[in-house]
Structure 1
Amino acid sequence: MTSRHPQPSSDTARLVEENLLSLAQLRDMVGSLSPDIYQQAFGEYGRHTLGKHVRHIIDHYDALLDGLDRGEEFIDYEHRRRDAVLEQWPQHAASHLAGLETRLTSMVSGPAPDALTLGYPMDDTRLSLASSLERELAFLTSHSIHHMAIIALLAEQAGIHLPESFGVHPSTLRHWQRTSVKQALSSRRSA
């Protein structure tokens, strides 16, 4: 059984917020798509669809959150659900994303695990790597943004317009904001 702190750290809350922002962007985009566009195959071998990338993101959140719900310290991203319905029907995926947002939000006020172990396959063996909830939340943000950047490229090919911030890591958005503020201050000083 996982030993638990009474409250998650402020770092956990900040990392949850980053994940929530990414998931909300994704949910908004997915909720506006038709099944035809969502399932449209891209690439030389037709392996890429918007839906497959969305499902892949969802699978990773489910792997972490389901493990935590069961009180497990061991996180295994390799053995994911891979629910084909999530990659075929955008409204189902959007609903699932909203549920993930609710589950993540509840983490901020609920108990948090002291430590986690990540299972990582290596050829014929499996490594057990020390981790934490904060580290896994940071991973999920980066992993989601990576796939959202691919989704943005596929969406562009399908003629779908997305906001400039879609698929951009929060650290890059913060950099853009700092740069914009610095440029505005600089232009005021020179005026």
Structure 2
Amino acid sequence: MNHQVTHSAIELCAQLNDLLSQISDDQFSAPLPLFSGSSIGQHTRHIVEFYQCLILSVKQREKVCYEDRQRSLPLESDRSYASQQLEELQQQLTIVGDYPSEITLLVKDFDDQLVSKDWESASTVTREIHYCNEHTVHHLAIIKVGLKHYFPEVQLNEIFGVAKSTFAYRKGK
């Protein structure tokens, strides 16, 4: 297991949790027109559930299927609960290396008629954590746009919503 990838996942969860400590419950759950009516809370839920789906599947030695995530309403509407889930997720990420590294990814894909065309692929826990990290950066970037537009008083660190490779490039590394 690549410990750097889990360290990055833990860092990303901490960045999001830091943001949650700076915003109000109303800011967390407000439907934002710039997000087509979704909220920071809904983006938070989406991020957290991808990691949770992966970790639960690995622990239960089941196929990983991100489409089967929970879609928990409390996670997207209760900022305190979301913060608690992020803290638990960080703890779980520290022990994910204790489980088998080879996994199967199940993708529930749909054609133009919305008929399911499922397929599977071999993967590893490290690869899927990396995927979740990149997915998280993408959603943090979206959240950042919303924050700058609606809540410019919220202070973010310079790497929030920026891929590490992009950040390194900008720093001349």
| TM-score, structure 2 as length reference | 0.88
Query: 37, 40, 48: which one pairs with 2:27?
Result: 37
Aligned residue runs from structure 1 range 26-175, under 5 A: 26-43=16-33, 46-72=36-62, 74-108=63-97, 110-123=98-111, 124=115, 125-157=117-149, 158-159=151-152, 160-175=154-169
For 2:23 and 2:78, how far apart are their aligned partners in 1?
9
Aligned-residue RMSD, C-alpha: 1.7
**1:184 match:** none
User: Cα deviation per residue 1:68-120 (whole Å; 9 max; x = unaligned)?
Assistant: 12121x11011111111111111110110010000001124x23332323324
Shift of 1:26: 0.5
Q: Secondary structure at the match of 1:168?
A: coil
More strand by share: 1
Q: How has the CA–CA distance of structure 1 residues 77 and 45 changed in structure 2, closer, same or farther, with 3 Å as cutoff?
A: closer
Moved more, 142-151 or 113-122: 113-122
* One-letter amino acid of the counterpart of residue 67, structure 1: S
- 1:13-61: CA deviation from partner (whole Å, max 9, x where unpaired): 1111111111110111112221111112212685221101000001111
What amino acid maps onto 1:17 in structure 2?
H
For 1:186, the equivalent position in structure 2 comes to none
Q: Which moved more, 1:121-130 or 1:144-153?
A: 121-130
Residues 140 and 45 (structure 1), Cα distance of their counterparts in 2 relative to 1, 3 Å cut: closer
Q: Matches of 2:66 and 2:130 in 1, distance apart? A: 14
Tell me which stretches of 4 or more aligned residues in structure 1 moved more than 3 Å: none
Amino acid corresponding to residue 33 of structure 1 in structure 2: I
Letter in 1 for 2:84: S
Instruction: State the AA in 1 paired with 2:136.
Output: S
Indicate if the aligned counterparts of 1:155 and 1:161 stay in contact, CA closer than 8 A: no
Number of aligned residue pairs:
167
Point out where structure 2 has 5 or more consecutive residues left out of the alignment.
none
- Measured after TM superposition, the shift of residue 169 of structure 1 is 1.0
- Give the Cα–Cα distance (whole angstroms) in 2 for the partners of residues 154 and 170 of structure 1: 21
Gaps of 5+ in 1: 1-8, 182-191
1:15 has 2:9 as partner: no
Identity of aligned residues (%): 26
Secondary structure of the corresponding residue to residue 115 of structure 1: strand
